[in-house]
Structure 1
Amino acid sequence: MDRAVAQAAERLDRARLTGVPCEPVRALLPSGDLTAAYAVQTVLGDRRLAEGRRITGWKIGLTSTAVQAQLGVGTPDFGRLLDDTAVPDGAEIPWGSVLQPRAEAEVALFLEHDLTHERHTVADVIRATAFALPAVEVVGSRIRDWDISAVDTIADNASSGAYVLGTRPVPLRELDLRTVGMVVERRGEPVSTGAGAACLGNPLHAAIWLADTLVRLGHPLRAGDTVLTGALGPMTTVEPGDVLEARIDGLGSVRAAFGRTEAEGGTR
């Protein structure tokens, strides 16, 4: 198992460093073994920390039941957010810095208290959250042509690429996250629409799942963490030069801008 995990980590890290997508890693790991996939994710995350990066929070993926069915799982997944993947609102994301990028609009929660209970409630999450922000997650796959299973995307840090946060914090008491509407536009044309209910019925439900899961794994959510709670609508394809604007009711807007030229110094 250790050798298989190391081989999968090497394949994904080589793709990140070279900017050349790789073959899926699922054939290297026991069939359907999500524990092994998370072990690969941990190896890669520890390498980034050793390089001087820091964890700024966590992202939740596979919050759509349709996507879960497509990948043959019945649960969301998670990945780490790192400081070098945070992009200011509207700042250019150099083309090539995220492999095979796609974008999705999400609700981000910023925590001011730890979440350390074995089982959390909606009230626990609300009390622990300082504010919410609109977010665009730029997902990317180091695996060629997005040929992924659940094992592949989990090993690949839940296909995390970059993330952009809005700049106007909103207290949760002013929001009903289940009913918020969302639209992503490209040059004024809608390319994705959705609502809070598309994310496990409510983005707060996704946050509860993550909080409980991370406690079981021994590294609970902490004050200062940012949590990307999951997509509110379908992913959007991205082309060089695109500027995507996501608007979420009650939260405002946030823009993800993509450059036309290749990034220097590798990929995220």
Structure 2
Amino acid sequence: MSNQNIETVALALKQAEISRRAIPPIRTQLGGDQADVDAAYAVQETNTQNALAQGRRLVGRKIGLTSKVVQTQLGVDQPDFGMLFADMAFGDGEEIPANLLIQPKIEAEIALVIKHDLNKVKHTFADIISATDYALAAIEIVDSRIENWKISLIDTVADNASSAAFVLGSRPVQLENLDLVNCKMRMTRDNEVVSQGVGKACLANPLNAAVWLADEMMLRGRPLLAGDIILTGALGPMVVANPGDEFVVEIEGFDPVTAVFAQ
């Protein structure tokens, strides 16, 4: 895959994000059915480097495709990742501007905030537990720059794993006080339950996702650093978000966290 082609696709995705106008799938420009996921990550990395050059601050990663069902649908056997920047973060209950997104959906997740660099070639549960400062309930707002969410693995990886924004809860919890496998999740919109799930929906244990991410980031030259946020993956089905919606996520062991979308 030529560098020029990578740059062209990266620019098209960035312009779609800025203009809030979705574009057709880009996988054909990266090789179609023969496209290599490394080419898609090269597009993502190009936009990451451009963002850093513009002064945006990298604060963590999101993990996607942690559901085995979704992996099967896309024909993959592992998750993917995207970059989280400080300007993507919203506080609990803070209004998310209506003109920020194209076709947003939301997911309930557990976030880990790490206190030590994760820079080993192969990580273990013990490494992740030792490096975790605390956990937070979180809401990820995903948004595809690809028209009508007609995405393949290549499209979503190139598009920063369809990440757009995130909301963190405000009460940190130590891992020893959580049942990461069996904790129940409930998401409501205007008091109506719209998504339910459990911790083990995320690769059987959110720590499995964190281990995968730590290893993958070492391989790709962007190891997780002290202070980074890890959005470990969805605990239940994603839900479409419309202007004026207010979502409350309750995960056992945490205080509720709220995402509010402006009219």
TM-score normalised by length of structure 1: 0.95
Between the aligned partners of 2:28 and 2:98, the Cα distance in structure 1 is 30
Between the aligned partners of 1:221 and 1:176, the Cα distance in structure 2 is 24
Structure 2: give runs of 5+ residues left out of the alignment: none
Residue type of the alignment partner of 1:133: L
1:216 aligns with 2:219: yes
Between the aligned partners of 1:139 and 1:64, the Cα distance in structure 2 is 15
Residue type of the alignment partner of 2:106: A
Structure 1: give runs of 5+ residues left out of the alignment: 261-268
Aligned counterpart, 2:195: 192
1:165 aligns with 2:177: no
1:7–1:28: 8 Å Cα contact kept in structure 2? no
Which of residues 67, 75, 82 in structure 2 aligns to 1:64? 67
How far off is 1:32 after superposition?
A: 3.2
Aligned counterpart, 1:264: none
Aligned counterpart, 2:128: 125
Residue type of the alignment partner of 1:223: A
Aligned counterpart, 1:266: none
1:106–1:229: 8 Å Cα contact kept in structure 2? yes
1:112–1:224: 8 Å Cα contact kept in structure 2? yes
Deviation per residue, 1:172-222 (Å, 9 max, x gap): 010110111101000111100000100000000000000011111222111
1:98–1:162: 8 Å Cα contact kept in structure 2? no
1:95 aligns with 2:98: yes
How far off is 1:77 after superposition?
A: 0.2
TM-score normalised by length of structure 2: 0.97
Which of residues 230, 234, 239 in structure 2 aligns to 1:231? 234
2:262 counterpart SS class: strand
How far off is 1:70 after superposition?
A: 1.0
Aligned counterpart, 1:263: none
1:96 counterpart SS class: helix
Between the aligned partners of 1:12 and 1:71, the Cα distance in structure 2 is 21
Between the aligned partners of 1:3 and 1:219, the Cα distance in structure 2 is 23
1:124 counterpart SS class: helix
How far off is 1:49 after superposition?
A: 1.2
How far off is 1:114 after superposition?
A: 1.0
- Equivalences, count: 260
Between the aligned partners of 2:252 and 2:122, the Cα distance in structure 1 is 30
Which of residues 45, 48, 65 in structure 2 aligns to 1:45? 48
2:193 counterpart SS class: strand
Residue type of the alignment partner of 2:20: G
Aligned counterpart, 2:3: 2
Q: Give the alignment's Cα RMSD to 1 decimal.
A: 0.8
Residue type of the alignment partner of 2:125: V
1:135 counterpart SS class: strand
Aligned counterpart, 1:24: 25
